Amino acid sequence: MNKQKPVRLRDLAFELNLSVSTVSRAMSGKGRISDKTRARVLKAIKKSNYTPNDVARSLRMQNAMSIGIIVTDITNSFFASVIKGAQSVSREKGYSILLSNSDENILYEAEAMQLMLEKQVSGLILASVGNNGPRIDQFRSLNIPIVFIDNTPEPITSFDSVSTDNHKAAYCLTTRLIEKGYREIGMITGPLNQSSGRQRYEGFQSAMNEHGAPLRAEWIREGDFQMESGMVLMRRILETARPPRAVIISNNYMTYGAAKTIKRMGKSIPDDVALASFDTDDPTSLSSPTIASMNQPAVEIGTKAAEILINRLTAKQPLPHANLVLEPVFTDGDSW
């Protein structure tokens, strides 16, 4: 009904005939205080529904105990899992999560980073769209650590990162395809100015070259990691005079789009064209065919990123930069 003023330390102190500082010490357990008054205070707090004002505490402590997370799209199950992982570690260690979606928009990303600065986050976990140099420098100069995930800036100079061995993942996937007898293989890559996109493309190239398989330009298209581009580019590839027998697709969304297009064109996977992908593993999926895929350990990326971040935040002395590269996890499928 009527707005009730929140209880402050001052109110408790008044009620107990104590000073604010004593009540504060009773709560925190720091500083000198007798067991008797401590008990008295704690008892009073119990039934007073006192809620500490963390904003005030943050200001005084110069530490908001919060971690910013910026991802490009929270509805992408990969990022959702990353966030879940990061959240569980953060909770344990007493950090809260400030979330922002950049919608793959570099302007929104910059805005979000600015917000994180203003909110005085202790650290940032960032899945960056592209290069966002000036803003990143600001974090560096304020000594606010960033852990990059998914896309890592290159060269990885002075930041932490958690990523997957994308080169290896693509290399293995391609090699398996070749071992299965496919030689005419195309690829829908991600943006080549993003590390994940380029590394996967390079892994593909390596494997193809090593096995003497042909790299044909019209079988290779650069997408943008969105479903739309998977649909469009797969159609283009299949409409070439002599389409490839298999296509590697650089992420989950483009694969979904590509598979839809293939079905819509009345063709079959893998009889007309085989597919291999990244990050399509999903225990809940009823996908048919199931897609052979190299998957990033998403939850682990989240937990590791949070651990590295918090580790740095609580370290006494400067720490070397951690650039963790996790192994991709293969899941087989009927798509090849």
Partner DNA sequence: AATGCTTGCGCAATCGATTCCATTGTGATA
Partner DNA sequence: TATCACAATGGAATCGATTGCGCAAGCATT
SS3 57: helix
- Closest approach, Cβ 230 to DNA, in A, equals 46
What is the rounded distance in angstroms from the CA atom of residue 179 to the CA atom of residue 164? 23
| Residue 212 interacting with a copy of itself (CB under 8 A) | no
Residues in the chain: 336
SS3 34: coil
316 binds, among DNA, a copy of itself, none (CB under 5 to 8 A by kind): none
Kindly identify the residues of this chain, within the stretch 6-25, that bind DNA according to CB under 7 A. 6, 8-10, 17-22, 24-25
- Closest approach, Cβ 57 to DNA, in A, equals 4
235 binds, among DNA, a copy of itself, none (CB under 5 to 8 A by kind): none
| Residue 81 interacting with a copy of itself (CB under 8 A) | yes
| Residue 136 interacting with DNA (CB under 7 A) | no
- Closest approach, Cβ 124 to a copy of itself, in A, equals 14
Mention every residue, 6+ apart, whose C-beta is less than 8 A from residue 227: 253, 254, 256, 257
| Residue 3 interacting with DNA (CB under 7 A) | no
264 binds, among a copy of itself, DNA, none (CB under 5 to 8 A by kind): none
| Residue 56 interacting with a copy of itself (CB under 8 A) | yes
216 within 8 A of 244, measured Cβ to Cβ? yes
| Residue 315 interacting with DNA (CB under 7 A) | no
Which residue from 19, 28, 34, 138 is in contact with a copy of itself, where contact means CB under 8 A? Answer: 138
| Token pair in block for residue 286 | 């009823």
Kindly identify the residues of this chain, within the stretch 61-100, that bind DNA according to CB under 7 A. 61-62
Going by their DSSP bridges, the two strands 329-331 and 292-295 should be labelled as antiparallel
Nearest to 336 by CA among 252, 269, 239: 269
Which part of the chain contacts a copy of itself (CB under 8 A), choosing from 56-64, 122-130, 149-157, 191-199?
Answer: 56-64
Q: Provide the Cα torsion 303, 305, 307, 311; round to 10°.
A: 180
In sequence order, which ranges of 153-194 are alpha helices (DSSP H)?
166-179
Q: What is the DSSP string of 248-286?
A: EESSHHHHHHHHHHHHHTT--TTTT-EEEEES---TT--
Which residue is associated with the tokens 């005939």? 17
305 within 8 A of 79, measured Cβ to Cβ? no
Kindly identify the residues of this chain, within the stretch 82-121, that bind a copy of itself according to CB under 8 A. 83-84, 87-88, 91, 96-101, 103, 108, 111, 114-115, 117-120
Mention every residue, 6+ apart, whose C-beta is less than 8 A from residue 101: 70, 71, 72, 73, 74, 108, 112
Count of residues near a copy of itself by CB under 8 A: 57
Which part of the chain contacts a copy of itself (CB under 8 A), choosing from 11-19, 160-168, 212-220, 286-294?
Answer: 286-294
Site residues (CB under 7 A) for DNA? 6, 8-10, 17-22, 24-25, 27-28, 30-38, 50, 52-53, 56-57, 59-62
Site residues (CB under 8 A) for a copy of itself? 3-4, 6, 49, 51-56, 58-59, 64, 66, 73-75, 77, 80-81, 83-84, 87-88, 91, 96-101, 103, 108, 111, 114-115, 117-120, 138, 141-143, 227, 252-253, 256, 259-260, 283-288, 291
